[in-house]
Amino acid sequence: MLRALALAPLLSASGIVLGREGIDVGQTSMFARLIPAEQIEKVAALQYRQMLQQAAAAKKLAPAEHPSVRRLRSIAGSFLRHTVGWNPRAKDWKWEVHLIQSKEINAFCMPGGKIVFFSAILDTLRLSDDETATVMGHEMAHALREHARERLGKSTATSLGVSLLGQVLGLGDLGRELTNLGAKLLTLQFSRSDESEADLVGMELAARAGFDPRAGISLWQKMAAASKGAPPQWLSTHPSNDARIGDIRASLPKVLPLYRPASSATGRP
């Protein structure tokens, strides 16, 4: 049985952080409103469960007692009371964290708080807890800021514009885009602005949870070393590692004041 991360006890015990000290990235895109949040979260949960079933069948799904799974769930758990400040829906999400054995250096968080880490990102990069928290915060930020919902909303707006003309001509299906969400969700690519926003929001989440936001610098240095030969920034949907490091350095003055008291409260060095 899949185990959901327990959010309710953490919220009730620790309270909800709603202050807007720290990072300011503005409101979510209006395009996200074109896709019902409940629908995309339902589709994401289905896709997530299917992925875990496939991983389990291939004996690639790490068990709950695996040390890395315990570590990831502990880090994610420390973030949860800070998520509602970025998205009120997060208090009702059934957060889950799983580890899949894979040589791919990757991690993601699907809408509704469904998180997967691939083992290579921990093992190949030899991530510290602070660096792992940076990755965790980045991926959770994509879900909290509803980047997938926004991307699909933009795609739907374009398709529905064409389909509307088809309706006038007696052709097309306005509901087709919504029924195809599942097929699109796993192949979705975020924009450079989405990635940059997730870096900054994730850095704040990590800082509030007591993890050193400066770890983003060493993380992206490791990523740069592991991705030699990658295409230049303007050919990729991801910002360059140097650009990310520059943005992190520029934003540190906003999040270090959040990190220091949180670190003291949690007993982290």
Query: Does residue 139 carry a catalytic annotation?
Result: yes
| Residues in a beta bridge with 98 | 116
Q: How far is CA 210 from CA 18, 106, 108, 237, 244, in A?
A: 17, 23, 21, 30, 21
Lookup result for tokens 């791919």: 104
Rounded Cα–Cα distance for residues 269 and 265 (Å):
10
Residue among 40, 44, 253 at smallest CA distance from 150:
40
Cβ–Cβ < 8 Å for 80, 60: no
Q: Among residues 41, 96, 131, 139, which one is catalytic?
A: 139
DSSP, residue by residue, 85-121: TT-GGGGG---EEEEE--SS--EEEETTTEEEEEHHH
Lookup result for tokens 């009120």: 88
Q: Give the chain's largest Cα–Cα span.
A: 66
Active site residues: 139
